[in-house]
Chains A and B, each alone.
Chain A
Amino acid sequence: MAEPGHPAVVDATAPARGRLPLGRRLSAWASQERVFRLIPFIAVEAVFILVIIIPFILTIYISLLRWRANRPFEQANFSGFLNYGRVLAKDEFWMALGRTFYFAGAAVILELLIGFVLAYLLHRHIRGRRLYITIFLAPMMVVPVVVGYNFSMIYVDSGPLNEILAPFLEPFGIDPRIRWLSNPFAAQWAIILADVWQWTSLTFLIFLSGFAALPQQLINAARVLGASPAQIFWRVQLPLLKPAIIIAVVIRSMEALKMFDPVVLLTFGGPGISTQTIAYYLWQEVWVFSKYSYGAAASILLLIFFSVFIFFGIWLLVRQRESVRRVDVDI
């Protein structure tokens, strides 16, 4: 209604807008500045809530119930922190956790060392460099199931690995038929080596990028000042590669702590429980034994434990970035 004294302003488009299809009206509404800038935020938050928050709350809720999936969910009853207590009191849980750190530690150290050496050798322009890089990156792209299957064949008692090792072991009176998958100690290393074979590619890639990003003028300057190749490596290149090293350590450690595929594909956690990692242990408790609420409690506890390591890794990264920034400013 027009104000008194003012001519009525007729909105010629009003009737037409009223007849606009819903889709176009929605589109016009979403195009408004105040709405449009919120859309990405809302979309991300919605996905975050649906994919992370709701399942997380559900997991906490289930962890507080007494429920195995071999009974209907309706029969589940509240049990407080009973499941948490049972997880913490279970030797197998701690053993699996300890074993996971052992596997992850050994695998990541080897991957870092081998990846670093390969990257060091290939960061310079040598003949066939591209071919070597392609070959060294290939394992990372192989599907883990294929890796597991291949290694199960390699580790067979009379398989190729033992055939290769035989000439080196027999002169010392050692039985060349190493029981890679049925001897508890050998089976552990069989899994570690399979992981190393596949994931050294990643550390190699990270280090190769690190070497490529090294400021050449610093190396040239050191060389002009009379530094030996060893001094250049230890005093210039290695310190500058620290961020790449930390990234490689953090990324690979986080992944290795979730080690599951090689365990399932090579040993199924055996012999005994000698190769049972925490991921395998959880999978077994939940999916094989249907202990959903026990598994939920164990998952929450693991989240807490692993968060400590992840935060430590992130703290290292942040600290490293700040120190690099300080060096840049000084320069």
Chain B
Amino acid sequence: MKRCFLHAGVAAAAAALSIPALAADVLPGATVAERALNGAKEYIEKNGLENPKLTMLLSSLYRNSMPDFTREWTELTGVEIENVPLGYTDIPAKVMAEATAKTGVYDIFNDFPYSMPDAAGAGVVVPLDEYAARGQPDFSGTAPGISFQQYYQGKLYNMVLDGDHIILVLRDDLLENPAVKEEYRAKYGKDPGCPETMAEWEEMASWFHTKEGETRWGMTFDKPLYGAVAYRSINFSYRHFPAYLGGLMFDADMNPTINTANGIRAIKQFASIVQYMPPDVQGWGTPQIYPFWRTGNAFSAMSFPSIVGNANSAEDSVIKGKQRACAIPKVDVGGGEMVSRAPQAAGTGYMVNTYSAHPELAYWFIQWFTSESVGDRAIAHPKGFWDPFRESNLDNEGIIARFGRQFLDTTMANSKNAVSLLLIEGNYEYFNILDKHLASVMNGNITAEEAAALIEEGWNDVTEDIGRDYQIATWRSGVESGIYLDKFE
């Protein structure tokens, strides 16, 4: 069984590139999108469908942008798609409820890749390899930490169109302020810029942190300038923590690596910078962090990359064109080895419901939508939240106009260090255990050492509950595929 999964993992890595070779009955069409259209038309004709309709459970982030594309699909194929928007925190439960109810009410699920392990385990999503062999989607030009998130246990379940690997963004106007430069240079002997390490970022956060009413660099701050803002709340901390850990969360036998010198260092570093963040930050998610960043009351933000586009386009933003994107700073994982890891903290994809009446038709929409030609337009959509992630994005005029060249270059470079969050069954429970104890450390209720021990204990409980052998096999398969970049020692 274990060997089977290991082979499956390696197969997953090869699958994306080998799809053309496997294809037996490849559909006509010069591009991925054309083949998808032809696939849909062929399916409709073969099954004699009249006015076919699909329903998509859609992350509500896309309620104002996805309809433009589903309308276009309807015009091209005659297939109507009804979008059912729902908050992304509620979608996994809906998917799992469908595993039990088996209604087929939704044909397509739009959610994060992390919903895939539980959904695939429950059999509620269908493997797409058979359709992909005919449609030949193209996943080239995408970093492995993102592209292999589409696979689970060697099978293609999910097609991603969103590069949500986190990024650090600084206030360029402050960095370029001559008075700031002079004072900073006097203290640190260099100009302020993108920090190389997490420790340096915290140092910069501390230096820029300014109290209300204080006068610095010829400016009086009516409101405090916080040194940093980042995700530190339940349901968000786990998305950032891998950037601090800088390595695998488990060894080859699913023993947690958190209760080690590196794990404890990561917890301390994760919690320490909170002192330079707004006091409410532990209750903040995206609806709070994005607007706060736009007010200009923080020097730096570690966030989903769309924060840059958002602050450049929102009407109330006071920092339009005043942002500098940076790659995720490195951490010392021990022995002086410096590692940068940019967790793919969200990044939505599309899966097909096993109980759909037309799973193949649903697939053709997904292939069409996530293709380079259509997907790039989606990323450039002014009301969308899709983020750049593949090389073709670098040349797309709409994307350049929306995100800016400096950000694009940085996020593409950052994507080379993109790593998936934990892609195994029960991952939301593992994440929750981590978040709870990180919160306790940030609140000073327990020490980092105590938290590490408690997290280790909690994670082991989940592993045992699901089945250690099963988890080991899936975990190894994921590591081998390259989604976490790091390999077993």
Contact = CB atoms under 8 A, between A and B. Distances in A.
Interface string B434-472: 011101101101000000000000000000011000000
A164 B233 CA distance: 26
Query: B interface, how many residues as a size bin?
Result: 35 or more
Contact of A70 (B282, B425, B439, B445): B425
Contacts of A267: 283
B117 interface: yes
A128 interface: no
A79 to B, nearest CB: 11
A266 B234 CA distance: 12
B96 interface: yes
A93 B123 CA distance: 30
B439 A268 contact: no
A80 interface: no
Interface stretch (A175-183, A229-237, A305-313, A321-329): A175-183
A269 B99 CA distance: 27
Interface residues of A, number: 32
Given A69-B96, A183-B443, A177 B122 contact: no
B211 to A, nearest CB: 12
A59 interface: no
A288 B92 contact: yes
Contacts of B50: none
A68 B97 CA distance: 12
B99 A272 contact: no
B281 interface: yes
Interface in A171-191: 177, 179-184, 187
Contacts, number: 94
A61 interface: no
A289 B429 contact: yes
Contact of B100 (A73, A156, A179, A187): A73
B121 A70 contact: yes
A182 B100 CA distance: 36
Contacts of B121: 70-71
Contacts of B235: 268
Contact of A272 (B93, B97, B429, B436): B436
A72 interface: yes
Contacts of A177: 279
Contacts of B92: 288
B432 interface: yes
B234 A269 contact: yes
Contact of B439 (A71, A270, A284): A270
A14 B229 CA distance: 87
A288 B92 CA distance: 7
A270 B465 CA distance: 25
Contacts of B97: 69
Contact of A268 (B96, B234, B440, B465): B234
A67 to B, nearest CB: 10
A85 B443 CA distance: 31
A318 to B, nearest CB: 41
A178 to B, nearest CB: 9
Nearest to A181: B283
A287 interface: yes
A182 B428 contact: no
B426 interface: yes
A181 B234 contact: no
Interface in B53-109: 92-93, 96-97, 99-100
Given A269-B234, A271-B282, A271-B439, A70 B117 contact: yes
B280 A156 contact: yes
B20 to A, nearest CB: 33
Contacts of B480: none
Interface string A59-90: 00000000011111100000000000000000
A261 interface: no
B426 A182 contact: no
Contacts of A187: 283
A10 to B, nearest CB: 57
Nearest to B94: A287
B279 A272 contact: no
A68 B100 contact: no
B111 interface: no
Contacts of B117: 70
Contacts of B100: 69, 73, 292
A268 B280 CA distance: 14
B118 interface: yes
A273 interface: yes
Nearest to A92: B436
B96 A181 contact: no
A191 to B, nearest CB: 12
B329 interface: no
Contacts of B279: 157, 177, 179, 182
Contacts of A268: 233-235
Contacts of B437: 272
Interface string B221-252: 00000000000011100000000000000000
B443 A69 contact: no
A71 B466 CA distance: 10
Given A157-B278, A181-B280, A273-B436, A68 B466 contact: yes
A182 B283 contact: yes
A184 B440 CA distance: 9
A26 B385 CA distance: 60
B209 to A, nearest CB: 15
Contacts of A288: 92-93, 428-429, 432
Nearest to B117: A70
Contacts of B443: 183-184, 271-272, 274
Contact of A270 (B123, B234, B428): B234
Interface in B327-359: none
B436 A289 contact: no
A62 B432 CA distance: 24
Interface in A256-281: 266-274
A72 B100 CA distance: 8
A284 to B, nearest CB: 7
B122 A69 contact: yes
Contact of B283 (A72, A270, A291, A292): A270
Given A182-B279, A182-B280, A289 B439 contact: no
Interface in B367-426: 425-426
A258 to B, nearest CB: 19
B93 A270 contact: no
Nearest to B442: A271
Nearest to B93: A287
Contacts of B122: 69-72, 290
A182 B282 contact: yes
Contacts of B282: 179, 181-182, 270-271
Contacts of B96: 69-70, 287, 290
B428 A289 contact: yes
Contacts of A273: 436
7 contacts: A69-B99, A70-B96, A72-B122, A156-B280, A182-B282, A288-B92, A289-B432
Given A177-B279, A271-B233, A290-B96, 15 more contacts: A68-B466, A69-B122, A72-B99, A72-B123, A179-B280, A181-B280, A187-B283, A266-B283, A268-B235, A270-B233, A271-B439, A272-B234, A288-B428, A288-B432, A289-B428
Smallest CB-CB A-B distances: 3 pairs: A181-B283, A182-B282, A70-B118
